[in-house]
């Protein structure tokens, strides 16, 4: 609120120092001084700028305290960023081939990508929205990361021992999701919320929307030991053809429950060209949409009791069963909501509607009471009980224009993004949280402007039972004038905000351009919870199975074998040579080529580029990777290493000869 008090005591002290320490000759340009104050002055930095610089600078060889996993939007990738320095540490290939990692070029990784094919059709991009870290007892445990893919309804599993994608599951019932991934507090289930309703199976005309079109939320069973989702033990909950949106999993008191927003409960079907109202109008006619309140434990019981139907080989818990058996309830929510976020104690559900300046806070305990006492205002067209709004609302707080998403800190504050206002607002929770902050409950206490059009925000550990607070990242859709103009397509802007002082103002610290697809959401984990490998556990490792590769090759075992028209090569790579260095085949031969990096030194990665045949591999220390192709063009192809691995890196090459 009082943003002008941003220059706190620290700022004033620095300002005083600046005035004393500088010559005041207004000189700009090259900075030759070692005096920090003089440098700041020469660069035109304000005291607040200097504070921000000192708070974010990470000296060489020291590590960031937090790691943020951000979706890479329609780049189909995931970004790994250190906080507070905001340095980009890695891009993880997920749904999109990516040459630096050799992702989608080796046979092994092509097979992972192919798991996400749609009815045999290869998909080479994805729209990543929501990353979710695995949890133990509701706390991030640093083992796995899940992401959903909106364009084709897919979920991917990333193993945080090597930060590589291990599995992609394609939702067989839908081509559209949005609300997940989110995990239950012990990661038994990965939740994939739906979005645009469509028939589960095949075609139906739009005039049969109400009867044939369906929404869904999918619960993917996760096997932590195997590090894999088990589709045969997973199921979907059939929902009315409203457009489902963001979901969140209950925790603590609400563990075992799941909450999803919806919009277009009008069941508008669009079609301006036919004289119908466009979706933006048709889907916003009613004042209220429905928050979906889902009893996951009950749903699992019914699934285990065989109360499912099988559609396209996938278990579906029917809508009428869910409505009749106490799995599914609706609570009215202000129209066209976007975020639903569960407070760290699990008791408050914060829902924000794009078109309503308020956050609506529901009390889970009151929802339980309303269900027990059947305080229903009626049922919807599909027989789902509608819980009485007034019986379960705890508070409605006017936050500002276009509230979207909310995160929490340990001091009883909530932080909500304001899309239309381009701001982050800090407000107080009530109930038992009042003691923590000692202020008026359910009240706005601070606001900071961001640049511009914020979507999600992420607070350090801000989405689990035990938030850290400290830092907040505003994930801004537009950057407009924040960076040097690089042409009409501009990067997005991640802005780091210091929220470490619960009694002082929030402070904007840093702008980080994101020159990839639109990042939607991120989660921030304490860095020391991650224990990634430095090199693969043994020479001849297959990262896609996290076990010894059947074609691992030890030094001295290198060989080339021919079987009919197939030539198979077992090659090793080390500084600074491939063994063997010559591979000769006949045009038309099938070539299966395994390369093992036999290095045990950290960072001794070798690349493998095969020009003309469109291959590039990244073979990390210990890894075995395979390429397989038909040698359909003759000629001489010099293969080489794409990682500058030693002084003799340019000599790390060989010839692939294809005889006509």
Binding string, residues 222-261; x marks residues near ligand CUK by CB under 6 A = ------------------------x---------------
- Rounded to a whole number of angstroms, the minimum distance from the CB of residue 455 to ligand CUK is 3
Binding-site size, ligand CUA (CB under 6 A): 7
Q: Is 609 in the site for ligand CUA (CB under 6 A)?
A: no
Please, which of residues 579-608 interact with ligand CUA by CB under 6 A? 606
Minimum CB–partner distance for residue 178 and ligand CUK (Å): 6
214 binds, among ligand CUA, ligand CUK, none (CB under 5 to 8 A by kind): none
Give the bridge partners for 526, in sequence order: 66
Burial of 657 by CB count in 10 Å (0-12 exposed, 13-18 middle, 19+ buried)?
middle
**Stretch of 27-35, 373-381, 521-529, 645-653 contacting ligand CUA, by CB under 6 A:** 645-653
643 is an interface residue for ligand CUA by CB under 6 A: yes
SS3 helix, strand, coil % of the chain, rounded to 5? 15, 40, 45
The residue with tokens 């739906």 is 194
Q: Is residue 641 involved in binding ligand CUA (CB under 6 A)?
A: yes
Enumerate residues 6+ apart whose C-beta is below 8 A from 248: 182, 258, 259, 340, 341, 342, 349
Q: Which of residues 153-192 bind ligand CUK (CB under 6 A)?
A: 178
Select from ligand CUA, ligand CUK, none the partner in contact with residue 135, using the beta carbon and a kind-dependent cut-off of 5 to 8 Å.
none
Query: Which is nearer to ligand CUK, 456 or 549 (by Cβ)?
Result: 456
By CB under 6 A, tell whether 456 contacts ligand CUK.
yes
- Binding partner of 246, given ligand CUA, ligand CUK, none, CB within 5-8 angstroms per partner class: ligand CUK
Q: What are phi and psi of 609, to 5 degrees?
A: -105, 130
- What is the rounded CA–CA span in Å between residue 497 and residue 407? 13
Distance CA 71, CA 127 (A): 9
Q: Which does 129 bind (CB under 5 to 8 A by kind): ligand CUK, ligand CUA, none?
A: ligand CUK
Cα(320)–Cα(318) distance, integer angstroms:
6
Q: Which of 182, 362, 382, 521 binds ligand CUK (CB under 6 A)?
A: 521
Binding pattern for the stretch 379-418 against ligand CUK, x by CB under 6 A and - elsewhere: -------------------------xx-------------
Cβ-proximal residues to 507 (8 Å cutoff; 6+ apart), any chain: 6, 48, 51, 52, 448, 497, 498
Decide: is 300 part of the binding site for ligand CUA (CB under 6 A): no
520 binds, among ligand CUA, ligand CUK, none (CB under 5 to 8 A by kind): ligand CUK
Which residues lie closer than 8 Å to 488 by C-beta, 6 or more apart? none
Cα(409)–Cα(458) distance, rounded to whole angstroms?
10
For ligand CUK (CB under 6 A), the number of binding residues is 11
Asked if 41 is part of the footprint of ligand CUK (rule: CB under 6 A), the reply reads no
Pick one of ligand CUK, ligand CUA, none as the site partner of residue 649 (Cβ within 5 to 8 A by kind): ligand CUA
Q: Which does 178 bind (CB under 5 to 8 A by kind): ligand CUK, ligand CUA, none?
A: ligand CUK
Min dist. Cβ of residue 541 to ligand CUA (A): 18
Residue 607 binds ligand CUK, judged by CB under 6 A: no
Q: What is the 3-state secondary structure (H, E, C) of 153-198?
A: CEEEEEECCCCEEEEEEECCCCCCECCCCEECCCCCEEEEEECCCE
Backbone angles phi, psi at 447, to 5 degrees: -145, 140
Residue 358 binds ligand CUA, judged by CB under 6 A: no
For residue 212, which phi and psi values (nearest 5 degrees)?
Answer: -105, -25
By CB under 6 A, name the one of 74, 130, 292, 594 that touches ligand CUK: 130
Pick from 81, 61, 248, 229: nearest CA to 163: 81
| 3-class DSSP state of 122 | coil
CB within 8 A of 503, min separation 6: which ones?
none
Smallest distance from ligand CUK to CB 32, Å? 45
652 binds, among ligand CUK, ligand CUA, none (CB under 5 to 8 A by kind): ligand CUA
Among 52, 102, 103, 129, binds ligand CUK (CB under 6 A): 129
Q: Does 520 bind ligand CUK (CB under 6 A)?
A: yes
Query: Of 444, 630, 649, 657, which one interacts with ligand CUA (CB under 6 A)?
Result: 649
Binding segment for ligand CUA among 314-322, 432-440, 522-530, 642-650 (CB under 6 A)? 642-650
Give the residue among 143, 167, 173, 164 at the shortest CA–CA distance from 155: 167
- Comparing C-alpha atoms, which of 525, 550, 527 is closest to residue 70? 525
**Cβ-proximal residues to 648 (8 Å cutoff; 6+ apart), any chain:** 575, 576
Q: What is the closest distance, in whole angstroms, from the C-beta atom of residue 561 to ligand CUA in the complex?
A: 25
Rounded CA-CA distance 551/512 in Å is 43
**Chain position carrying tokens 């408050």:** 348
> What is the C-alpha separation between 386 and 323, in angstroms, rounded?
10
- CA dist., res. 365 & res. 416, Å (int): 23
Closest distance between ligand CUA and the C-beta of residue 597, in Å? Answer: 9
Sign of CA pseudo-dihedral 41, 42, 43, 44: positive
Nearer to ligand CUA, 270 or 580 (CB): 580
Contact, 654 vs 611, CB < 8 A?
A: no
Q: How far is the CB of 555 from ligand CUA (least distance, A)?
A: 15
Residue in 41, 292, 335, 338 binding ligand CUK, rule: CB under 6 A:
338
- The tokens of 442 are what? 């359910």
Among 472, 592, 645, 658, binds ligand CUA (CB under 6 A): 645
Report whether 427 contacts 439 (CB < 8 A): no
- Interface with ligand CUK (CB under 6 A): 129-130, 178, 246, 338, 404-405, 455-456, 520-521
- Interface with ligand CUA (CB under 6 A): 606, 641, 643-645, 649, 652
């Amino acid at each position: 609120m009082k943003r002008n008090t941003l220059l706190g005591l620290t700022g004033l002290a620095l300002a005083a120092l600046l005035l004393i320490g500088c010559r005041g000759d207004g000189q700009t340009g090259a900075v030759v001084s070692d005096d920090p104050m003089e440098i700041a002055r020469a660069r035109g930095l304000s005291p607040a700028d200097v504070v921000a610089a000192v708070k974010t600078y990470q000296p060489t060889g020291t590590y960031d305290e937090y790691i943020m996993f951000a979706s890479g939007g329609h780049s189909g990738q995931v970004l790994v960023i250190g906080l507070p320095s905001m340095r980009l540490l890695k891009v993880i290939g997920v749904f999109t081939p990516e040459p630096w990692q050799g992702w989608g070029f080796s046979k092994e990784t092509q097979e992972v990508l192919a798991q996400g094919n749609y009815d045999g059709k290869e998909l080479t991009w994805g729209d990543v929205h929501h990353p979710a870290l695995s949890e133990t007892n509701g706390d991030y445990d640093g083992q796995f990361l899940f992401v959903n893919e909106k364009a084709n309804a897919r979920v991917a599993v990333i193993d945080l021992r090597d930060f590589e994608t291990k599995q992609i599951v394609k939702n067989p019932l839908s081509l559209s999701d949005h609300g997940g991934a989110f995990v239950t507090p012990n990661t038994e289930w990965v939740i994939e919320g739906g979005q645009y309703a469509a028939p589960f199976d095949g075609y139906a005309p739009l005039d049969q929307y109400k009867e044939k079109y369906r929404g869904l939320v999918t619960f993917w069973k996760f096997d932590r030991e195997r590090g894999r989702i088990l589709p045969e033990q997973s199921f979907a909950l059939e929902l009315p053809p409203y457009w489902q949106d963001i979901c969140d999993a209950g925790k603590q008191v609400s563990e075992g429950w799941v909450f999803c927003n919806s919009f277009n409960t009008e069941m508008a079907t669009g079609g301006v060209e036919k004289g119908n109202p466009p979706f933006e109008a048709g889907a916003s006619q009613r004042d209220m949409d429905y928050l979906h309140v889902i009893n996951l434990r009950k749903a699992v019981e019914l699934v285990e009791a065989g109360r499912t139907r099988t559609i396209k080989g996938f278990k579906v818990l029917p809508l009428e069963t869910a409505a009749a058996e106490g799995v599914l309830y609706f609570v009215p929510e202000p129209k066209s909501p976007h975020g639903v976020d569960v407070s760290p104690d699990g008791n408050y559900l914060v829902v924000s509607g794009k078109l309503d300046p308020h956050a609506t806070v529901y009390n889970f305990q009151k929802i339980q009471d309303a269900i027990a006492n059947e305080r229903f205002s009626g049922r919807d067209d599909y027989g789902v009980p509608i819980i009485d709004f007034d019986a379960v609302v705890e508070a409605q707080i006017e936050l500002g224009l276009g509230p979207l998403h909310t995160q929490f800190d340990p001091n009883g504050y909530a932080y909500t993004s304001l899309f239309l206002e381009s701001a982050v607002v800090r407000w107080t929770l009530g109930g038992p949280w009042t003691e923590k902050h000692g202020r008026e409950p359910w009240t706005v206490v601070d606001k900071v402007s961001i640049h511009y059009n914020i979507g999600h925000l992420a607070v350090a550990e801000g989405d689990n039972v035990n938030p850290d607070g400290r830092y907040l990242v505003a994930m801004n859709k537009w950057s407009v004038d924040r960076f040097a103009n690089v042409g009409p397509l501009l990067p997005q802007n991640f802005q780091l905000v210091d929220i470490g002082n619960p009694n002082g103002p929030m402070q904007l610290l840093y702008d980080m351009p994101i020159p990839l697809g639109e990042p939607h959401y991120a989660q921030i984990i304490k860095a020391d919870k991650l224990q990634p490998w430095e090199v693969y556990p043994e020479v001849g490792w297959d990262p896609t199975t996290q076990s010894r590769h059947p074609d691992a090759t030890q030094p001295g075992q290198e060989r080339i074998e021919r079987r009919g028209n197939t030539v198979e090569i077992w090659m090793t790579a080390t500084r600074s040579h491939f063994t063997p260095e010559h591979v000769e085949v006949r045009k038309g031969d099938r070539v299966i080529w395994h390369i093992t990096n036999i290095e045990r030194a950290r960072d001794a990665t070798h690349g493998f580029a095969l020009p003309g045949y469109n291959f590039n591999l990244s073979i990390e220390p210990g890894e075995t990777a395979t390429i397989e192709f038909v040698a359909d063009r003759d000629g001489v192809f010099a293969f080489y290493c794409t990682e500058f691995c030693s002084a003799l890196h340019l000599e790390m090459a060989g010839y692939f000869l294809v005889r006509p």
